[in-house]
Structure 1
């Protein structure tokens, strides 16, 4: 499945800044950052459940906001971009 995950983590306290870093680092392990707080993610249902559980354990539900949008398969290949934004290679082979 293809997802857009967005987050808004309150950073008015040192704890909030720590939560923001932890959420960003977690999301980097699941997808590609397309904007500061937006990730394009290709994953399975099980991966999504794991990701959401991990995020839930990090955020403060009274201060932070996470949104996950399921988009039709193939959406990332047909994205329209403007400015310096470029489509990202979600389907490219991983070279180790």
Structure 2
């Protein structure tokens, strides 16, 4: 399934800047950055729960914001893109 993760971390303090780096690093484990604070993550349902749990532990919910957009397993017809496109591996077999 494809999940889009968007976040806004308050970086006014050194702790906030550290949280921002940790949130980005955690998201990179599960997906690909498509904008500064937006990741497309191709995950299993259990990985999605783990990702949400890990980000919840990192975030300061009093000053930060996390958003999860679950596009499901059949997401290819739900995405429209213009401009330079970054490659996100699909679910099919890819030979190199």
- Shorter-chain TM-score: what band? 0.7 to 0.9
Q: CA deviation digits over 1:13-66, x for unaligned, max 9?
A: 110000000000000000011111111111111111111111111110100000
Moved more, 72-81 or 49-58: 72-81
Q: Distance in 1 between matches of 2:86 and 2:77?
A: 11
TM-score (norm 1): 0.83
Where structure 1 has 5 or more consecutive residues not aligned to the other structure, the ranges are: none
Contact residue 79 and residue 87 of structure 1 kept, 8 A: no
Give the drift of 1:2. Answer: 1.1
Aligned residues: 95
Q: Distance in 1 between matches of 2:87 and 2:76?
A: 7
Where structure 2 has 5 or more consecutive residues not aligned to the other structure, the ranges are: none
Corresponding residue number in structure 2 for 1:29: 29
| Alignment RMSD (CA, Å) | 2.2
TM-score (norm 2): 0.83
